[in-house]
Amino acid sequence: MTLSLILSFSVSHAETFYKDHARGWHWYEKLPIPEDPALEEKQKQIPKTPGEKLKAYREELENRLAAAWINPTSQNVERYQEMQKDMMNRSQTFSQTWMKNVYVNAGLDHTLVAPVNQKAVHVYLDQQKEERRQAIQSLSQTHGLFFFYSSNCPYCHQFAPIVKMFAEQYGWDVLAISLDERAIETFPNAVPDNGLAAQWNVTSLPSLFAVNPETEDVIQVAQGMTSIDEMENRIMVLIRGNK
């Protein structure tokens, strides 16, 4: 290369640099890399959201388990064991963090609502029982009990004293309704059915309803022979369901 050519080459590049001095040393730029469709597709498949990452993790764990089960080589089993150990470590860390949050945040501690300590459980159950008693007793101020029976129904004879005991315990009035127009010992002042049983679709005996005569609100307390506890639970569930 002659001296004149070298000088010409140097001057040309110097002019280019000085004319474009605002860009500083960035005048030396890399050539654009051609796009790789396969690389782009691979990047699209990389999990990005936590849900996608968890799904990919589970799939990898299942694949390693399947490989180890179908072809239980030392290498395949070890690969599954490594990932299973990682999963257990993650679970332990999650559990520890969970409990830490519960300990420092009372709003996340469910045991404050439903305690597991034996003494606390007794207090909790007593409180629940008292709340249930108050709710059922309060309902008796607006509702009465309609007891449907038949004198030839042995279950009705057994259930009638339970109904009477429940009514006395919570202060309910009871209207006993006989489907065969015959009284029974527990409710000698029963009245004959006037079509109400068909209207309320009473298909099994005995049946017990809590009725508000003013609003015509009807709660089926029992269908068939049940205990007082079952009646209490049913009333509480139905009351909460109507709120």
Structural domain spans, the chain: 57-106, 123-241
Q: What does the pLDDT read at residue 117?
A: 61
- 3-state class (DSSP) for residue 136: helix
Tell me how far apart the alpha carbons of residues 61 and 80 are, in angstroms, rounded to a whole number.
Answer: 7
Q: Can you tell me the distance from the alpha carbon of 172 to that of 137, in angstroms, rounded to the nearest whole number?
A: 8
- Give the model's pLDDT for residue 82: 95
90-132 per-position pLDDT tens digit? 998 898 888 778 777 867 766 655 565 666 556 666 677 788 8
Among the residue ranges 143-147, 159-163, 236-240, the one predicted with the least confidence is: 236-240
pLDDT at residue 43 in the model: 58
Q: Which amino acid is at 57?
A: Y
Angle at 176 between CA 172 and CA 177, to 5 degrees: 145
Q: What is the pLDDT of residue 219?
A: 86
Structure tokens at 66: 């399947």
For 123-241, CATH number out of 3.40.50.9100, 3.40.50.720, 3.40.30.10, 2.60.40.420 equals 3.40.30.10
The H-assigned helical ranges of the chain are: 3-19, 37-45, 50-70, 74-104, 118-139, 154-170, 196-199, 228-241
User: CA 185 to CA 169: how far, in whole Å?
Assistant: 20
User: Which pLDDT score is estimated for 239?
Assistant: 76
Q: Give the pLDDT mean for 225-229.
A: 90
Distance, in Å, from the CA atom of 93 to the CA atom of 108, rounded to the nearest integer, reads 18
d(CA 31, CA 228): 86
> Is pLDDT of 221 > 80?
yes
Q: Is 219 helix (H, G, I), strand (E, B) or coil?
A: strand
DSSP code per residue over 15-46: HHHHHTGGGGGGGS-PPPPPP-HHHHHHHHHS
Answer yes or no: is pLDDT of 29 > 60. no
212/228 Cα distance (integer angstroms): 20
pTM exceeds 0.95? no
Q: Residue 236 — pLDDT band, cuts 50, 70, 90?
A: confident
pLDDT in tens, 51-96: 888 899 999 999 999 999 999 999 999 999 999 999 999 998 898 8
